[in-house]
Structure 1
Amino acid sequence: MSESLAPRAAALDAADELAGARKLFALDDAVYLDGNSLGALPAHVPDRIADVVTRQWGQLRIRSWTEGDWWTAPERIGDRIAPLVGAAPGRIVVGDSTSVNVFKAVVGAVRLNPDPARTDVLVDATTFPTDGYIAESAARMTGRRIVPVAPGELAGALGPATAAVLLNHVDYRSGRLHDLPSLTAAVHEAGALAVWDLCHSAGALPVGLDAHGVDLAVGCTYKYLNGGPGSPAYLYVAQRHQAAFDSPLPGWTSHEDPFAMSHAYTPAGGAVRGRVGTPDILSMLALEAALDVWDGVSIDTVRAKSLALTDFFLECVAAYVPEGRVTSLTPAAHAERGSQIALRCDEAPRVMDELIARGVIGDLRRPDVLRFGFTPLYVGFADAERAARVLAEVLSEQPRD
């Protein structure tokens, strides 16, 4: 192993303007590099949820729908997420899972582009599997054809038959960042609508939904937004589409007059029509509390630290790990990198087990990918150096019997 990079890590941490955010989270001595699967717990959330359970639910009971503002939570929390993805208020509604929102968005996009000559729904061929499953089902149900396309080949696949395109902003496996502005522009040039999955980008880098003319977008909140396991996802509907957006899952809470209990459905105005049923209040209010850690934080500052962290981690890997033992699958170019590093390793299952046993928490993507997520609010440069050093130690050892 070459000379230690620990002193450099300490200097970088001392100069880090986000270093103070770390104390807002409930962390132990482990290096937690799996926030791209499940974000760490903001330390104040348990007390906030205790109040929701004991006072709001336990004492106010049904009155909390109004006195506790439970009813407005999906739009209110959507407005708090909006600045993190470059959206104006009133364009995001929180609720349901990412999968359910992908279904709403893809079907809604096809219904916004109903020309029968537009027979195709294009989907990123490298997408997270569920997105592909949902898109294929949505295409069948709308009488369209699903067309898997490699992200680099999208421009050549677009044409007069394209109705909608579903794309991931950051590839969940490799960490590759796709060019949202140029791909959205290409989709629009072809007369189609762009639907983006932001699960691996929201809270890690600027998105610019409004600025880049995205039509519809979805995302989860339990990764970089730290909303907790199974926290509700969100749906973005561009202002220009809201009046015509036709959700395939109309529900009583998206009715213009929910408590009229009318048998005739009339959708509410705005993104609210993306609601379906009764909000999942406990997890939704945990998410709302978790979003407090973003108060006063610039997403541009987060992005700058993310790139510096991943650069430094790759530098440490190159310095510590013997040549040829791992290969980065994540692009080196900043414009093509999300906030994770994926390393191909022949011994990946053994290596990740050993890393976790030694307090470096990443995750495995079978058969041979070690995946490390860097959440700038609570991951520091010393964490990156330690992770690379322990990785080198593990790789230097023989497999256990």
Structure 2
Amino acid sequence: MSASEDLHKRRLAAVAPGVTSAISSYVDNAAGGTLTDVDGREWIDFAAGIAVTSVGNSAPLVVQAVQDQVARFTHTCFMVAPYESYVSVCEQLNALTPGTFEKRSALFNSGAEAVENAVKIARYATRRPAVVVFDHGYHGRTNLTMALTAKVMPYKDGFGPFAPEIYRAPMSYPLRDGLSGEAAAARAIDIIEKQVGASNVAAILIEPIQGEGGFVVPAPGFLPALADWARSAGAVFIADEIQTGFCRTGDWFASTHEGIEPDLITTAKGIAGGLPLAGVTGRASIMDTVHAGGLGGTYGGNPIACAAALGAIETMRTLDLAAAARRIGATITDRLASLDHPAIAEVRGRGAMVAVELVKPGTLEPDAALTSSINKACHAAGLLTLTCGTYGNVFRFLPPLVMPDAILERGLDILSHAFDNNH
């Protein structure tokens, strides 16, 4: 029995079966682009912990910052006895996120927690109940964020009832709706005005590029039109940049590509090099409305996670990982575009957030079975890939932004062979 098989046997007896894993191997160590399992097998990592380890799994500045902080203190709770690193992370978020207006930030533990708090803040500031989200959107697994999330399986099935006053509008999905950004926005706004009422909307919440929903990139003009409408309606425009943030799309934040300045931005994943940290950053005029004690949490902005975030942000800045994301994305996109496979309907994405959608040839009917088959072939060959999409027919590629070119090319060779062998 291999070491991974032994661990898996122990897992079955100890871990709740509702928690699943993409592969059955168990990781022993990891670097900037590869994972090595407990049996010594190397995996090329096209997942980065779902866009978390953008600076690598053990970036030197992150490691040093964490080690230094652990030696000083591990926790005091910022709400009890504050410390500088929490303030420093908030300063960085205020400076890096889009918008030249005065900002404030608050720190939390996870992306779902950040989204929940952004909704809390928007409702408090506007004194309105309704939150508008979009088809194919994903915002988390807590009760409120499950309500905000579109896809039922595996995220929502059997877990209701869910939080009220959540309304869903159609997303701009150019491959499937064929609409311009302006036309798609007009369609969504018409539904919001008719079915929710502008005066009831506390917030519009949207991913600038949808993550779990299939890396859907809205048509140009869609996001600016929604942001303009939100401001005219007195609603808060919230960009969920949990998967797109921190250089992933070729800029610090995906909102910048569309020229929008969200009222609030939620962040997590790539912020802290693998440690649990999240944030809500936004206009001071909105953030300052919440009463003292209304935001917080025991572990939110933990000093070790804050130290890691400062190391990760400095790594992104020093290595210019936004430029690295553009280079990686161009390489992946070129290779995917060169694949001669009849099931490829579209290659899309931005920066090092790239996807390919598979359909039955000659149609737009999703082919989840083929997607699964190719994914298994990649895993069998030592390439860690992930699928996503409302229909389960999208490959998403999220390599660490420090991945060397040679490893990236090896991974793309494996991917190419998997496509060639699955027609």
TM > 0.5 = yes
- Partner of 1:150 in structure 2? 170
**Higher mean Cα deviation, 351-360 or 87-96?**
87-96
Q: Deviations over 1:325-351 (max 9, x none)?
A: 4333636xx6xx872223426432332
* 2:371 corresponds to 1:353: no
Given candidates 368, 386, 393, the residue that maps to 1:368 is: 393
Percent identity between matched residues is 13
- Whether contact under 8 Å (2:137, 2:206) holds in the other structure is yes
| 1:184 shift after superposition | 1.3
Q: Deviations over 1:36-92 (max 9, x none)?
A: 433132432334333333x3139xx97x99xxx962332311222344423568522
- Partner of 2:264 in structure 1? 216
Q: Distance in 1 between matches of 2:311 and 2:327?
A: 28
Q: Distance in 1 between matches of 2:260 and 2:340?
A: 43
- Partner of 2:348 in structure 1? 330
Given candidates 216, 219, 225, the residue that maps to 1:176 is: 216
Residue 155 of structure 1 aligns with an amino acid whose one-letter code is: I
- Partner of 1:240 in structure 2? 285
| 1:123 shift after superposition | 1.1
Q: Distance in 2 between matches of 1:291 and 1:281?
A: 15
| 1:244 shift after superposition | 1.4
- Whether contact under 8 Å (1:42, 1:290) holds in the other structure is no
Q: Deviations over 1:172-207 (max 9, x none)?
A: 132233454332112112232212211122112344
| 1:374 shift after superposition | 4.4
* 2:241 corresponds to 1:198: yes
Given candidates 182, 202, 210, the residue that maps to 1:163 is: 202
Residue 106 of structure 1 aligns with an amino acid whose one-letter code is: V
- Whether contact under 8 Å (1:363, 1:372) holds in the other structure is yes
Q: How does 1:229-378 map to 2 (within 5 A)?
A: 229=275, 231-246=276-291, 266-267=292-293, 274-279=295-300, 280-296=302-318, 302=322, 305-319=324-338, 321-328=339-346, 330=348, 339-344=353-358, 346-365=369-388, 367-375=392-400, 377-378=401-402
Q: Distance in 1 between matches of 2:397 and 2:316?
A: 22
- Partner of 1:255 in structure 2? none
- Partner of 1:43 in structure 2? 59
Q: Distance in 2 between matches of 1:281 and 1:324?
A: 51
- Partner of 2:72 in structure 1? 56
- Partner of 1:13 in structure 2? none
| 1:293 shift after superposition | 0.4
Mark the CA change 1:146 to 1:48 in structure 2 (over 3 Å): closer, same or farther.
Answer: closer
Mark the CA change 1:43 to 1:108 in structure 2 (over 3 Å): closer, same or farther.
Answer: closer
| 1:219 shift after superposition | 1.5
**Deviation beyond 6 Å, 4+ runs, structure 1:** none
Q: Distance in 2 between matches of 1:364 and 1:136?
A: 20
- Whether contact under 8 Å (2:333, 2:354) holds in the other structure is no
Mark the CA change 1:190 to 1:327 in structure 2 (over 3 Å): closer, same or farther.
Answer: same
**Higher mean Cα deviation, 176-185 or 197-206?**
176-185
| 1:33 shift after superposition | 1.9
Q: Distance in 2 between matches of 1:109 and 1:217?
A: 11
**Higher mean Cα deviation, 85-94 or 183-192?**
85-94
| 1:108 shift after superposition | 1.9
| 1:235 shift after superposition | 0.9
Unpaired runs of 5+ in structure 2? 1-30, 35-41, 149-159, 173-186, 359-366
Given candidates 110, 129, 132, the residue that maps to 1:122 is: 132
* 2:98 corresponds to 1:86: yes
Q: Distance in 1 between matches of 2:344 and 2:287?
A: 47
Q: Deviations over 1:99-154 (max 9, x none)?
A: 12211211221222225xxx63211221115279525769x99x962211122343
Q: Distance in 2 between matches of 1:364 and 1:384?
A: 18
Mark the CA change 1:162 to 1:215 in structure 2 (over 3 Å): closer, same or farther.
Answer: same
* Structure 2 counterpart SS, 1:235: strand
**Larger-Rg structure:** 1
Q: Distance in 1 between matches of 2:352 and 2:126?
A: 31
* Structure 2 counterpart SS, 1:91: strand
Residue 48 of structure 1 aligns with an amino acid whose one-letter code is: A
Computed over aligned residues only, the root mean square deviation of the Cα atoms, in angstroms, reads: 3.7
- Partner of 1:103 in structure 2? 116
Given candidates 379, 392, 396, the residue that maps to 2:403 is: 379
- Whether contact under 8 Å (1:135, 1:146) holds in the other structure is no
Mark the CA change 1:358 to 1:78 in structure 2 (over 3 Å): closer, same or farther.
Answer: farther
* Structure 2 counterpart SS, 1:170: coil
Mark the CA change 1:322 to 1:351 in structure 2 (over 3 Å): closer, same or farther.
Answer: same
- Whether contact under 8 Å (2:203, 2:238) holds in the other structure is yes
* Structure 1 counterpart SS, 2:140: helix
Residue 362 of structure 1 aligns with an amino acid whose one-letter code is: T
What TM-score does the superposition give when structure 2 sets the normalisation length?
Answer: 0.65
Q: Distance in 2 between matches of 1:354 and 1:290?
A: 33
